[in-house]
Amino acid sequence: MRKIKTILVGQSGGPTAAINASLAGVIRTAYSHNLRILGMQNGIQGFLDGRIVDLSRALELDAPASVDIDGGEQNLLLLRKTPSSWLGSCRFKLPEPDKDSPVYQRITERIGEFGIDAILYIGGNDSMDTTDKLSRYFRGAGIDAPVIGIPKTIDNDLEGTDHTPGFGSAARFVAEVTAELTRDGGVYDVKNVTFIEAMGREAGWLTAAGALAGDICGTAPDFVLLPEVPLDEEILLARIKSRFGEKNAVMVVVSEGVHHADGGFLFDAGSIATDTFGHLVAQSGTAAYLAQLAKARLGVKSRGIELNTLQRCASHAASKVDLDEAEALGTAGVVASLQGETGVMVGIHRLSSEPYATEIRTVPVANVANKVKLMPAIMISDDGFNVTDEALHYLRPLVAAAEEPILGDGLPRFLDAL
């Protein structure tokens, strides 16, 4: 194994409130080992184009902290608390490894051009596909450079880890918003139903977090609709009508990926474009559809509220547990590369929920790429219209503590854009 002197780190896929905490962990650990730290601007696509930045210089890691000038440590602290992907992102699908492919030939050129000894890639399912392909190509081409995946996704649908960085913060946001809307919906003495749409194409983890509203305001959502369970709209309408016999305000948290028994979405998916991985680019409209349906069929006041990208950038609701674990995984990625591991992803293994305890393990990234972790049946109610206590036990430790912001003139501060 050759000595690692230069590492390259990239971010890819949808951003989160915690993805920069992983980047901070990578940078802090690499810097402590006296490594040269380079960053891809806009992920693997930017790397192919040669858009590389020296992160030690960009973050002023050698600059002293003072009253007037933020030193590198202050910048790392700000980076940890800054939402979105500081390095920029992409959705670029690598072809299958082939030494004669122009794409892989360019990758080889870039490796030599920048003297790269190891690559760390922070992302979700599709990013682990990139990590797997890079590691397989390097192995076949005889390139001695470890490739390590660091997980992130608010969808929490990645195999090989108990949960993913970004999910805890997004879950905390969904829980808080659901509780706030629950109180708002109960103000007037009229029948009304609110549909809150959370992200999640295939897995309902984030939608399930809405059930934690019961811990905040004492009233849990009446229904939690997950993509793991096909939706019968007639049964849902009957359930809502029945609930109106008990209360005025009905609250429904619904996943964007909820579908009919035949697999078709509630909205017209055929009119929506797909990205290079075949995913719908703008999968939304479920809450608005159900709100219109309830208004037309039940004759009640109804609202459809789409949380959309707020879920992934709401750093004001960030979970300290989430950011701590995200940073620890960044550190673990550097350590794994220094130990000569390659073609692996660092992941979280839960040892206990009460008290909450975890450890970090590596798993072959080939076992993770292009797979989706669905919510298990034990976390879904028998009727499919809500979640169980098992889901709440799983979720609670991930959202339990708030991340305190760094303030400037009373407002939270972010790191300036790169």
Phi-psi region of 157 (alpha: psi -120 to 50; beta: other; left: phi over 0): alpha
The DSSP output letter for 86 is: T
Q: Which domains does the chain have, with CATH numbers?
A: 6-154+317-370 (3.40.50.450), 167-315 (3.40.50.460)
Mean pLDDT by 10 residues, the chain (418 residues): 88 96 98 97 96 96 64 93 96 91 95 97 95 96 96 97 98 98 94 97 96 98 97 97 97 95 74 47 77 96 95 96 98 97 98 97 95 97 98 97 94 96
Query: How is 141-184 classified by DSSP, letter by letter?
Result: HT----EEEEE--TT---TTSSS-TTHHHHHHHHHHHHHHHHHH
| Separation between Cα atoms, residue 325 and residue 155, nearest integer Å | 16
Look at residue 224 in the predicted model and tell me its pLDDT: 98
| Separation between Cα atoms, residue 186 and residue 183, nearest integer Å | 5
Look at residue 202 in the predicted model and tell me its pLDDT: 93
Q: What angle do CA 116, 369, 281 make, to 5 degrees?
A: 100
pTM over 0.85: yes
Give the alpha-carbon dihedral of 368, 35, 335, 25, to 10 degrees: -70
Look at residue 267 in the predicted model and tell me its pLDDT: 66
Catalytic residues: 155
Tokens representing 396 are 């609670």
Look at residue 279 in the predicted model and tell me its pLDDT: 47
The position carrying tokens 């991930």 is: 398
